[in-house]
Amino acid sequence: MKLFERAIRRANIPIAMSKGFNPHPKLSIPIALGVGISGNDEVLELELLRPMSVEILVECLCLQLPKEIHILSGEVIADSERCPVRDVIYEVVFKNPEFLNTVKVSEFLQQPFIVVNRTKNEHQKSFNIRPSIQGITVKSGRLILSIKVETEGMARPEEVVGALLENGRKEIFEIIRTKINLTSSA
C-alpha cells in the first residue's frame, strides 16, 4: 500500500483523503494478497477529488512505480458501483510437476467436508474449506484453483494444496494469484 501511496503523491494525483486526526489517502485493495503469494492481476481502487482521464492517471502512476510493477488497465467506477470480490483464481506451480500425476482431484472435490485447523491469537478453530472451493484443474503441469468468497470466509490456497496432498506429503510449490473476479452490479 505504501508503494502506491508514495507513487500517487509523487505523480500529483488528486486523491481524496480520509477525515480525522490522521488523514490517509482513500485507496483500497479489495482482497489482501497472502504472504508468499505473488499476484499477476491485482485490483486497486482510488477515490479522487476530481475527475481525471484514466489514460493520464495510468500514465502518471506508471512513471512513478518501479519497473517491475505494471498497470494493465484502468476504469472509472461510481461509488455505488464498487463491487465485492466474488472469486479468486490461483495457479500453483510445483517444483516437481510429475507429482500432479498422482493427485486425485475428482475424489477430493467429491468430499462434502474438507476441514482445516486455523490458529489465531493462540486459539485453534476448525474451518470447512470445501464450500469455497469452486474448482481445481490440472493444466500444463500446474494446478488451477478457483476459490469463491463465502460469508464465513474463504479457503486459502495453501490450505487447499495442503489438504490435496495425501498423507502429509511435502512438496515445494509457488502460488500465483492470476485473477480477481468482482461481483457485477447488475
DSSP 141: T
Give the model's pLDDT for residue 93: 93
pLDDT tier, 124 (very low <50, low <70, confident <90, very high otherwise): very high
- What DSSP assignment string belongs to 59-74? HHHHHHS-TT------
**Domain residue extents for the chain:** 2-81, 85-182
- All residues at 6 or more sequence positions from 36 whose CB lies less than 8 Å from its CB, including other chains: 158, 175
Give the pLDDT mean for 75-89.
Answer: 80
- Among residues 130, 145, 132, 149, the alpha carbon closest in space to that of 87 is found at 149
The model's pTM: 0.84
Question: Is 90 exceeded by the pLDDT of residue 133?
Answer: yes
Question: Is 50 exceeded by the pLDDT of residue 186?
Answer: no
Question: Is 50 exceeded by the pLDDT of residue 61?
Answer: yes
Question: Is 90 exceeded by the pLDDT of residue 148?
Answer: yes
Give the model's pLDDT for residue 5: 93
Q: C-alpha cell of 84?
A: 465485492
